[in-house]
Structure 1
Amino acid sequence: MENQNLKKETYIAEDGLLYCAKCHTPCEKVLPHPLEKGKLWRVHLMCRCEREAYEREKAEREKQEFEERVQRNRMICFHEKEMYGWTFANDDGSVPVMEKARAYVEHWEDVRKKKIGLILWGEVGTGKTFIAAAVANALLDQGFRVLMKDFTEISNISAFDADEYVRSLSSYDLLILDDLGAERTSEFAMQNVFNVVNRRWESGKPLIVTTNKTVDELKGVEDLTLKRINDRILAMCTPIYVGGSSKRRVKADENFKNLGVIFGKGGFKHE
């Protein structure tokens, strides 16, 4: 059966080689025998259609492996699945500064070479964390490794894990630290934060920080450790003001209206 199929799919051309009957390109070639001098050796050769099929399968396999790697990196990057959907595509357009975040991603190669980070600062609830997550998701989609942590978490690193944890953060293409100013202020906690920020400084890789504090407040601290932390962040990161009304308050009002519909008029009061 196999020989019959072989005869149907191939033929021997005038040069004596086997050819594919579909694409009419060689299925074998002749080489000098590796062990017997003066003797020729016929070896299999992928014809054009066989090679094209192989390349398609290879591309599909690489695409699947890439998508799986992106998904693994996304799971590592975020602590909440909801943040997987915090993307530029899902932006409601209420924060004009989002265009600067898009530009940051579009010029990522230049940004990375020049080691440029961002400080997204502004009032509570204006969308700073969403913007940072949108940048993260966009870079994750391109195959880069991104990690997003908050300052509270890194200030609480165990003394037993601190050195290894700090070293591991240097491996990411982009590190995002959320909510500067919310961390614990004990000496140990501040030293943890300094170690993370300083290691990022030494790595020469970009850093994005979000904070409710103003740039003047960051510059005006008197505590020595805080000053060292903030000085490094300001040296690495370009400040971008994120203004506007609180998205959390808007969401709360929307939820209140929805509950009013669910419970009926007069059955729900806004506290």
Structure 2
Amino acid sequence: MGPRSGQGQREQSSRRGRGIQRGREPGRGNKQRRHPERGMRPSRPRATKVIIEPHRHPGVFVARGKEDYLVTKNLVPGESVYGEKRISVETEGKTVEYRVWNPFRSKLAAGILGGLDEIYIYPGSRVLYLGAASGTSVSHVADVVGPEGLVYAVEFSHRSGRDLLHMAQKRTNVIPIIEDARHPQKYRMLVGMVDTVFADVAQPDQARIIALNAHTFLKNSGGIVISIKANCIDSTVDAATVFAREVKKLQEEKIKPQEQLTLEPYEVATLFCIKYNLYASRGITV
């Protein structure tokens, strides 16, 4: 009789304890819980504030928060091109969306982060992009030049060209051209005079390809940005020898590189930047 009575009291006490637990309102009064080892911890996570700052290159921005990102203002809000992260920021009562520009997937982004003095691409400019591939970098260039600018995107591969065409359906400042950049006369009727030529063709004769397009489409005092992968041109010699040869070929075409930048750790390529002189390229002294 005694043990049963004690057991009943314990069961009643246990049930009463469970009832109190069920009746509690967790988080009431927005109280914080104390962890025995870690101390105070907040009851809910806090959102990280992101601040957008203009980069020294017009049309390019830096998103500063828990991590810093190179970003461009999304020309088509709500849409991503290659699964890139998007950041929305409230500015003067309006929501502005930015796209993270991944330097591991864009040589131009890698060059900007590496400290290029000049990229010759800015809001309102017209760019001839040789070697557009599926349009990853082109989409960010389209963001930079904005609705007042134009990007003529030339790609020879029909497979990559399909993705490029799909991207250009929503970014109407991109004109996709599925053609061989070795023959600029084939798309001469589609391309006007441009402010910049960006070349990422990765071909042994790329110096000739760039010269043909620059002499055909580039305005005087325009800019040329060239990406060179040494092993795509000649894998039998060291990279320094390849670069020296390519610079000599460009100089023979009256195109003189002014800036050279390696893209490591993002890429194994090197960027060359050139201020183009139309008259010098034609042997005219002014």
Say which structure, 1 or 2, has more relative contact order (CA 8 Å, 6+ apart). 1
TM-score (norm 2): 0.33
TM-score (norm 1): 0.34
- Flag the structure with higher strand content: 2
